[in-house]
A and B are shown apart, each in its own frame.
Chain A
């Protein structure tokens, strides 16, 4: 089978599954009692295995299969989850990710997996003895042990039920209904076993409610089962009635029917997805009470406090899938381009309208204006992605880093739902990773240092995102040791980033901003995590490349806050058009603080730097004409100044005239002209002429 056409889908879904797996694993690590997570993990791994097998990636299939085995034993309660297993499973996830990446790059995903599978098998076998023996001994009260023995002596194939299912059983017995555990065997010669199974289920539904089945309904639908189906049925019919009804279906044998009683079952929150969807709501309350009534069960579940039950019940619901459509990114980009062209032409129409003074035209233009604005905002919203997709990878990263560093850190993430343009999302990941690593490595102290400083030994790193006007503000905050301004001063001198004279003139905030300068790393020792020469300057240039700003606020001993401010979208922006000689430039309004006029005579000269005085503050001036070598020599007695913010400092850009404010569509200059200093792109103006968009970050 040619599977290449499914490859991109496979890759996409694999990444999603890996993301889910990582997330569930992290949650499980924090809260090993939440066994429904195991189910999620198992299901994800299972689907992943199926996908890999279909696509013919053997090693992927092999590894996921072994993972599945271990997970299955965990959720079947024949093994107790321990730290080794978690670490091993995390390693598996890493390897899987590498494999998927390898496949993405055109490989076959054939990374060596022998070591990992050996480890998985060992955990599945070797470890299971010790942990299984240890669990009941340490945790289960004698009464439970008695029950366990009794149960062990009883029918061997009694199905385990979770709280909710047990709740249903109890309720059924209160209502004087029968609860049967039925083992149905399909005839080995049966051809369409899926159909037979369907008929069995149809009959069972007529008889009563199926509260559990092994294999799951999903697996049965997929014909992913052998000849046996085991179900738990709540019904009014007695044993022989049920048996007869079922055996009326051809090629079906009822192997055995047992009564299920409420107090023999352990309570792992097991295959919750297999229940009829309407079942969980009604008995949830009784389910909560069930473990208490049913007495603590043997084995692993003994370590699971009854109090955990109510919390788990709602989690047993399957997350309702969002109604979404996958759309190729290229199509969205195309849509955005078209909307952009419309905006350009709208501007043009407006200009013509202003000249022509036709009332009818005016009306139409206003309509078009409104529609275009709406369309634009819709297209923009469509391209918006919650920042969650970036944030999601951090818990795992933080976990690994913290372990490596021997620190203790609590990661708090806020505003995951904050939405950003996809292009921004794609770019923001790396700078955020860098800032986060920076906070973990240099910010948060070692636990003993923290204790000595009278702080909680567990550090806190807070990641948050929120909207602020047309911007998104993202902060990375730690409660670590903060940054010592004087240390930066010293370092800046030593690294010759600034001269002593320059330094003397700088206030603390300006000095702090030096850490964003190239080749500046304050870490005393270079670690693997950060401080590899790639410093915060990379973060800054990346953020500035996105038309954003990054700033730092710090208090020695209390921690640091890095704040990133980004525009919501990159494609269409509000800009101020300015003219210099015969040329027109666009400056993003996001960069502009204010504009003012300037008499040539008011230009002062301080140590070779042209400045003006604006509300009794000295404002350094930057002449666009000089910076961009604009041709022409028309002299003017009055100029205009666009006050912009670069980092924490204000500058005045000197231009000849302010042309007006306009919505502009950003076009790139093409591959061959990227990275020109001071130029962020080009745009088409209303009259069809092309104008350059200034990039404040690299202009001077």
Chain B
């Protein structure tokens, strides 16, 4: 985790000179969260997901994305948020980290937001979800986006 924070800091410093960071924002319950846009491959509508027996509890299962079979993490289960029914607005964000691809369910995708380095707060504790998943808070006027640490969320780190 420290390592990824360090990497973000370095990236942030570098970017401070020229360009800002982009994030894909989405809603889970009442909070808005965001993944670094670099990690987001595509966003698809909800589709049938097959349960994987004996998998860690937060896996919703496997689904077929145009021929390739990918695992899907249930965001609510992952963050210990109350379960909600899938709606028309529900989406699966396809994330990629190194050579691992995986789906991540969200209630609603908001928009792509651009944040300058000065708009990202690193060490502010958040209510609602376990702070280990959070690598920062993005401030966009009155909006607060919880920036997620991808490797931790996907259970890849350590």
Q: Which residues of A contact B (CB under 8 A)?
A: 341, 344, 583, 628-631, 667, 669-673, 676-679, 682-684, 688-692
Contacts and interface: CB of A to CB of B under 8 A. Distances in A.
B52 interface: yes
A670 B102 contact: yes
Contacts of B59: 673
A692 B100 contact: no
Interface stretch (B12-20, B66-74, B81-89, B119-127): B66-74
Nearest to A666: B69
Given A677-B54, A678-B53, A678-B54, A672 B48 contact: no
A670 B69 CA distance: 9
Nearest to A677: B54
A690 B59 CA distance: 15
B5 interface: no
B53 A629 contact: yes
Contacts of A672: 71, 100, 102, 154-156
A679 B147 CA distance: 34
Interface in B91-127: 99-102
Contacts of B48: 688-690
A86 to B, nearest CB: 46
Contacts of A688: 48, 64
B55 interface: yes
A629 B102 CA distance: 24
Interface string B24-53: 000000000000000000000000111111
Contacts of B154: 672
Given A672-B156, A689-B64, A628 B69 contact: no
Contacts of A684: 64, 67, 69
7 A-B pairs with least C-beta separation = A628-B53, A667-B69, A690-B50, A690-B62, A682-B69, A676-B54, A684-B64
Given A667-B69, A672-B154, A672-B156, A679 B100 contact: no
Contacts of B71: 669-670, 672-673
A646 to B, nearest CB: 18
A697 B68 CA distance: 26
Contact of A667 (B51, B53, B68): B68
B23 interface: no
Contacts of A669: 52, 62, 69, 71
Given A583-B50, A682-B50, A673 B67 contact: no
Interface of B: 48-55, 59, 61-64, 67-71, 99-102, 154-156
Most-contacted residue by chain A among B63, B69, B101 (CB, 10 A)? B69
B52 A692 contact: yes
A676 B51 CA distance: 13
A176 B94 CA distance: 85
Given A676-B52, A678-B54, 19 more contacts: A628-B53, A629-B54, A667-B69, A669-B52, A670-B70, A670-B71, A672-B100, A673-B59, A673-B71, A677-B54, A682-B62, A684-B64, A684-B67, A688-B64, A689-B50, A689-B64, A690-B49, A690-B62, A692-B52
13 contacts: A628-B53, A628-B54, A630-B53, A670-B71, A671-B100, A672-B71, A672-B155, A673-B55, A678-B53, A682-B69, A690-B50, A690-B61, A690-B64
Given A672-B100, A673-B59, A690-B63, A679 B69 contact: no
B79 to A, nearest CB: 17
A692 B64 CA distance: 12
Nearest to A583: B51
